[in-house]
Chains A and B, each alone.
Chain A
């Protein structure tokens, strides 16, 4: 009955590879997000989708491409992985862009390690 689930939980891969992280939410929310938590522990937003439409696209290399097949899913595909991509990636969801009484709900994260 996990609300926001992301897979895999751990991902270890070689530099230069292409990988995907999947995210699904069963809360009926209309907005989903991808965050990156780097080695300095800051949680920074990368992308946000509302009803399958991209609404936030931060300064992220175009090697990162989000895809939302429906409003319950937001996947993250990363091409040509680099050492600096090593981080924990969190998926989140909220209703109506995250208003006062409807905060964002987070998945448990995917720890990506680039060798």
Chain B
């Protein structure tokens, strides 16, 4: 049973527009959520995180929103750039335990 789901395998966005990547989870005990970015033939790299006590965290062009009642989080990238083209993984953990990853969304930003 997959506790973290990214239902969109791919997303295509025009350069300069907003990219919105979505993630749903089922375990209400998750208290820490992260987004990782992965380029081909490389390992995932940490992008941004959010604690369950917050509903928003912003870092430059990247903002993560958490809706606990809906068990949903999203990553907004504004403005999107071609270099943002990558696979984005959502991950969650409970009380510092193991990370549970979604299956990733491939973002393509077209010039």
Q: Give A contacts to B, CB under 8 Å.
A: 4, 40-45, 48, 56, 58, 90, 92, 96-101, 103-109
Contacts and interface: CB of A to CB of B under 8 A. Distances in A.
Given A103-B34, A104-B46, A43 B101 contact: yes
Interface stretch (B15-23, B61-69, B72-80, B92-100): B92-100
Contacts of A105: 45-46
A109 B43 contact: yes
Given A41-B104, A42-B2, A45-B98, A103 B49 contact: yes
Given A56-B98, A103-B34, A98 B93 contact: yes
Given A40-B103, A42-B2, A108-B41, A98 B96 contact: yes
Contact of A98 (B2, B89, B99, B101): B99
A45 B4 CA distance: 14
Interface in B9-34: 32, 34
25 contacts: A40-B103, A41-B104, A42-B2, A42-B101, A42-B102, A42-B103, A43-B44, A43-B89, A44-B101, A45-B98, A45-B99, A56-B98, A90-B44, A96-B96, A97-B96, A99-B96, A100-B32, A100-B49, A101-B49, A103-B46, A105-B45, A106-B45, A107-B43, A108-B43, A109-B43
A40 B45 CA distance: 20
A33 to B, nearest CB: 8
